[in-house]
Amino acid sequence: MLLAQPEANYDETKIPKFSVPDPLTSFSGLTITDSLQWEEKRKLEIFQFFEKQIYGKVPALLDEYSFKVIEQDNNALGGKAQRKQIAVGLKKNGRTLNFNILLYLPNGHENAPVFLGYNFHGNHTVTNDPNVIITEAWNANSTDLKISNNKATEASRGVRANRWPIDKMLDKGYGLATVYYGEIDPDKNDFSDGLHSLFYDEEQTKPKTNEWGSIAAWAFGLSRAMDYLDNDTNISNVIVFGHSRLGKAALWAGATDPRFTGVISNNSGCGGAALSKRKFGETIGRINNSFPHWFSESFKKYSNREETLPVDQHQLLTLIAPRPLYVASAIEDEWADPKGEFLSAQHASKVYELYGKKGISLTDVHEVDRPIQQTLAYHMRSGKHDVTDYDWDQYITWAETFSR
Ligand code: GCU
């Protein structure tokens, strides 16, 4: 049901008074002073809060999973890359879900680092490569992207190539792995299909109150892609990347799966990197209203009641420490609260410091197009909600230093 929501606020002077929960003070008031204490006394309680109250728990283990390389070309993209398309099969309760990974590895670079990121409309949309398999899964219609009848066709090949500078990645010695997120869970308020449905008991039609919404299902899918990538001997390490709703999923994947050696959140906004308690742009009430399937049912009790949350999103970032993490905003992307993303990176940094790593200090400022690259990095790009070459240039430069 759509509830009337207060007007979105874009005025800094109208932000409610709030304090940012201290990552280094436990729920019972204990002060954390070193990384060991952090891991033993604090990290788990924060993790469990996010797991039960925000994204929702994965209900059980899979019964089986399988990988099959269904297509391979060692001379793809004019000889620059090896291309593989891998079919992954997930089984539970006699039901199966299949998804495809598209993987490019740079020729001439053994043991390459790989960026893994979901795409919004199908693997064939990230490149003009004619050999990329077109997804059969449900797809959101888009006139701009030439998708109609909820089905991708040849017409949408390469329509999102602008967001994926694959040549640049390959030239720098990086690979790319991508998956269409709709193959894991179609992005609609309907729990009858996708990954969730594999796990239901008889007669169950949706996840239980503290169980996973779509973001947690997408994060789980990233980990299943990682199961394959982790065993590919031509890959050294995997940095998980995501834009917007898929940035939220990338952050949760980074928090739940320590095999990701780095995490990139591009304009992830509300329920991603941005502090919720500022109630700037999109709020918990609005996101739960527009996308009731993204979070666990239990998160709905915080709709328009952000002040009652004992955590905020900077604590999601702390769950990734001390691994490299890049939070990126765009100055015109006010809906995602760019300043709230910056503050979140600042407030997460004290956990990185416990490990002797640098983040964004409380005296740093977010100048437009002046990245701050530390283990926890941040940039505020000029322009709108998008993924641009500028963003990727920064990610690659940062990965060279911090995540190789
Ligand atoms: C909507 C939504 C955001 C989300 C974005 C996207 O704007 O409100 O939370 O990040 O879609 O995924 O592009």
Active centre residues (catalytic): 244, 385
**What pLDDT does 361 receive?**
96
Burial 337-348 (b: 16+ CB within 10 A, else e): bbbbbbbbbbbb
Contact 297, 52 (CB under 8 A): no
On whether both 69 and 212 belong to a single domain, the answer is: yes
> Distance, CA 149 to ligand 1 centroid (Å)?
22
The Å distance, Cα 330 to ligand 1 centre, comes to 14
How many domains does the chain contain in total? 2
215-262 pLDDT per residue, tens: 999 999 999 999 999 999 999 999 999 999 999 999 999 999 999 999
- Does residue 166 sit within a domain? yes
Residue type, 64: E
Report the atom number in ligand 1 closest to the C-alpha of 294: 9
Residue among 163, 282, 329 to mutate when testing ligand 1 (max atoms within 8 A of CB) = 282
Positions in the chain whose pLDDT score sits under 50: none
Q: How far is the CA of 244 from the centre of ligand 1 (A)?
A: 6
- What confidence score (pLDDT) does residue 1 get? 53
Interface predicted TM-score of the whole assembly (ipTM), two decimals: 0.97
pLDDT digits (tens, 9 = 90+) for 331-353: 999 999 999 999 999 999 999 99
Specify if 116 maps to a domain.
yes
Distance 318 CA to ligand 1 centre (A): 23
Probe ligand 1: pick from 119, 145, 218, 245, max atoms within 8 Å of CB?
Answer: 245
Q: Is residue 248 part of a domain?
A: no
C-alpha 245 – ligand 1 centre gap (Å)? 5
φ, ψ at 238 (rounded to 5°): -125, 125
Give residue-wise pLDDT tens across range 251-309.
999 999 999 999 999 999 999 999 999 999 999 999 999 999 999 999 999 999 999 99
**Residue 403: predicted pLDDT:** 74
Q: What tokens does 265 get?
A: 């959140």
Cα separation, 194 vs 186, whole angstroms: 6
pLDDT recorded at residue 69:
98
In a domain, 250, yes or no: no
Q: What pLDDT, on a 0 to 100 scale, did the predictor assign at position 5?
A: 85
163 and 276 together in one domain: no
Task: Answer yes or no: do 49 and 67 share one domain.
Answer: no
Pocket lined around ligand 1, Cβ cut-off 6 Å: 244-245, 269-270, 282, 287, 290, 335
- Whether residue 244 is contained in a domain is answered as no
- Of ligand 1's atoms, which has the minimum distance to the CA of residue 269? 10
Q: Where is the domain boundary, 237, 272, 304?
A: 237
Could you tell me if 121 and 30 lie in one domain?
no
| Pocket mutation for ligand 1, best pick of 246, 266, 335 (most atoms within 8 Å of C-beta) | 335
The residue segments making up the domain with residue 364 are: 11-55+261-404
Do 382 and 402 lie in one domain? The reply is yes
Residues 265, 199: one domain? no
Phi, psi (degrees; rounded to nearest 5) at 174: -105, 150
Residue 178 belongs to some domain of the structure: yes
Sheet order of strands, 235-243 included: 64-76, 81-92, 95-106, 175-180, 112-119, 235-243, 262-266, 325-330, 376-381
Say yes or no: 276 and 173 in one domain. no
For residue 327, the domain's CATH number is 3.40.50.1820
| Cα-to-centroid distance, 63 and ligand 1 (Å) | 33
Of 222, 237, 252, which marks where a domain is finished?
237
pLDDT at residue 4, rounded to an integer: 81
pLDDT of residue 335: 98
pLDDT of residue 381: 98
Q: For residue 381, how many other CB atoms are within 10 A of its CB?
A: 23
Q: For 257, which DSSP code?
A: -
Please identify, by atom number, the ligand 1 atom nearest to the C-alpha of residue 385: 13
CB contact at 8 A, 341 and 269? yes
Nearest alpha carbon, ligand 1 atom 4: 245
Q: Of 191, 221, 237, which marks where a domain is finished?
A: 237
